[in-house]
Amino acid sequence: MPERRFSRTLLLALVAFAVTASQLGTIVSAQVAGIKRTPPKTRAEVVKDTIFGVEVSDPYRWLEDQNSAETRAWIDEQNRYTDSILQALPGRDRISSRFAELLKIDTIGVPIERGGRYFFTKRLASQNQPVIYMREKGRDVALVDPNTWTKDQTSSAALMDISEDGKLLMYGIREGGADEIVGVILDIDSRKELPDRFPKARYFGTTFTPDKKGLYYTRFQNGVGSHVMYHEMGTDVAKDVEIFGKGYGPTELISPDVSRDGKWLILYVVHGSAARKIEVYAQNLEKKGPITTIVNDLDATFNGTVEGDHLYLLTSWQAPNRRVIDVDLNNPARDKWRTVIAETPFAVTGMRLAGGKIFVNYLENVATKMKVFETSGKLVRDVPVPPMGSAGSMNGQWDKDEAFYGFSSYKQPFTVYRYQISTGKQEEWARINVPVNTEQIEVKQVWYESKDKTKVPMYVAYKKGTKLDGTNPTYLTAYGGFNSSMTPGFSTFAAYWIEQGGVYALPNLRGGGEFGEKWHEAGMLEKKQNVFDDFIGAAEWLIKNRYTSPQKLAIAGGSNGGLLVGAAMTQRPELFQAVVCSYPLLDMVRYDKFLVAKFWVPEYGSAEKEEQFKYLLAYSPYQNVKQGTKYPAVLFITGDADTRVAPLHARKMAALMQAMNGSDKPILLHYDTKAGHSGGSPVSKQIEDMTDTLSFLFWQLGMKAS
């Protein structure tokens, strides 16, 4: 999915001064005096398609060719123009210095226990990239350190799987922010890489067999789709055998999972990102049985875990908020399925097995709650999750009495908790210490009406004592898609924005998963306009209630959130002063022709179908830019290494808006030749990018870095 990988972030200004629209224009001009204000000229072509009788113009289609000499020269010219403006803005040193303090800290992830060893990622304050560690007998040992791989430290390591005995570790080598990785297997005891090396590709669901004789994995290819492969250890990866996937195409993703005892192979076929339909198949590996169908005829989701001969599935079947069922794999007939945990009014976001129990994560008014159940369905207890925050699913082993989860909130940096399953006692295992005074942060959850009167919740965070006089610089961000829930969590960007006197707002739009599948469905396909209406409604509420004004309001989003802010600025340009649009989808008429985008057709639809073409064209930002409209200032952010959302969207949109904008506000493109969708940027690069983004926002909102 075009995911929200650019995390929820905040930011604000300690000395935020009020200015009128005309004063702001004077300040903006003064700050960039002597800098070239006219963007580079971009060649336009007469390119028109007739789609279902409608003529659609595409004057910058030539920019779709990422590798042509003309496109590369255009990118270089755009970057020079953007840099000439951003690099000259005041306060950059102060912003960069403060972000170095916030980001150059020790960080740690949630551990995974295998064979009495704990595996996790950790980054020291002096490092650019996280390192994969193992803790054994109280001692931490670095296993994979990507900081030594390249001079610019843009390569990162992704932990893919660990054998049940903790002896083998598979990790991925990621270059820049690309989705594709090179797979490597490490013998942990000898610290030597095995000859089994997986070529650069998209891999999903990598899982060792318990006897370590083989490995199941999925390889996904653009335009082709998923193939589940079996690799026999010690053999040539090029000779791996395909065991499942024939008949499926690029709109399906197939993922394998092997049971802890090695008896069962479970295969999940996901129909599109954030699918409303998932098929499930099983194979008895012990008996070398055939692959048999568990379910393939229901428009519902199924995800789960095997323990013994029982497959525990979290499903939306007859339960839009999801429930947990038990399928006996020796007798998997549907009439034998047993409901273990019934649906409740609150959406279930995750389910895990650990310590002989079932852990279920709920969202109650967009805050995480976690409960523990017996496999009979009896409630054991609630996990004492801190309030108004986000907790990950419990991570543990079925036969162990401990498990771990991570938690954060606007006021609490990421913390790892160790939970004793038999007693319910928990303790901090690790906490990230960020130099921020979180006691100064005020957090509220408010509800507002969207265009169709639907009630939508929104988190609002700001410094205690902030006056609601309509003058506060405000950063409004959201996602609204793919059943993805935008829950409150700590962010250094958010903390800095609040520290600097701004308001941070995060509405929970339809299209997300905050209130179950019905909430998701209310913001997808032909109902996608609801998402944009919800977001515009949040902006109107913030202005009406005097948190801010249009001259002080910035919106930001990435990936599907980039589509969101693109639609908002083309539909209601007068509402916003500035827009940060990152790794976006913007040409919705042609989006599914590139990279992995066919996987998103179940969420958005496709212009290849007439009814879907009509609503896609109606909101597609690229096709709805109007000549002479006074648009807000825009900073588009993308890069060559985005192999998920094609960067051509940002290229074409930047060129079009520069040509058609009727205001004197800048339309800028920040194009990184190594950045991509999957993160992996070194800390030093994160600081540089954040400095650019904040300089742009401070400039446009009349803020002064302190």
Two tokens at 467? 């006056």
Cα(562)–Cα(569) distance, integer angstroms: 11
Amino acid at 162: I
Proportion of the chain in helix, strand, coil states, percent, rounded to 5: 25, 35, 40
Catalytic residue among 271, 310, 649, 677: 677
Distance CA 555, CA 547 (A): 14
> Which residue's structure tokens are 């193992």?
134
Q: State the Cα–Cα distance between residues 41 and 60, nearest whole angstrom.
A: 12
As a whole number of angstroms, the distance between CA 148 and CA 166 comes to: 24
Q: Are 350 and 395 in contact (CB under 8 A)?
A: no
Closest alpha carbon to 702 in 501, 537, 522, 558: 501
Structure tokens given for 232:
């026999």
Q: Print the SS3 string covering 469-533.
A: CCCCCEEEECCCCCCCCCCCCCCHHHHHHHHCCCEEEEECCCCCCCCCHHHHHCCCHHHCHHHHH
DSSP 111-154: -EEETTEEEEEEE-TT-SS-EEEEEETTEEEEEE-GGGT-TT--
Q: Are strands 703-704 and 15-16 parallel, antiparallel or unpaired?
A: antiparallel
Strands (E), 568-645: 578-582, 633-639
**Closest residue by Cα to residue 599 from 289, 190, 223:** 223
Please identify which of the residues 408, 559, 606, 678 carries the catalytic annotation: 559
The rounded distance, in Å, linking the Cα atoms of 59 and 45 is: 5
Tell me whether residue 677 is one of the annotated catalytic residues. yes
Contact 442, 462 (CB under 8 A): yes
Strands 181-187 and 168-175: antiparallel
- Minimal CA–CA distance to 700: which of 34, 31, 28, 12? 28
Q: Which helix (H) or strand (E) holds 169?
A: strand 168-175
Cβ 587 vs Cβ 652: under 8 Å: yes
Does the annotation mark 681 as catalytic? no
244 vs 111: CA distance, rounded Å: 31
Q: What are phi and psi of 333, to 5 degrees?
A: -55, 145
Q: Residue 464 is encoded by which pair of tokens? A: 């205690």
SS (H, E, C) 89-121: CCCHHHHHHHHHHHHCCCEECCCEEECCEEEEE
Cα(280)–Cα(247) distance, rounded to whole angstroms? 15
Phi then psi for residue 649, to 5 deg, are -60, -50
The length of the chain, given as a count of residues: 706
* Catalytic residue positions, numbered: 559, 677
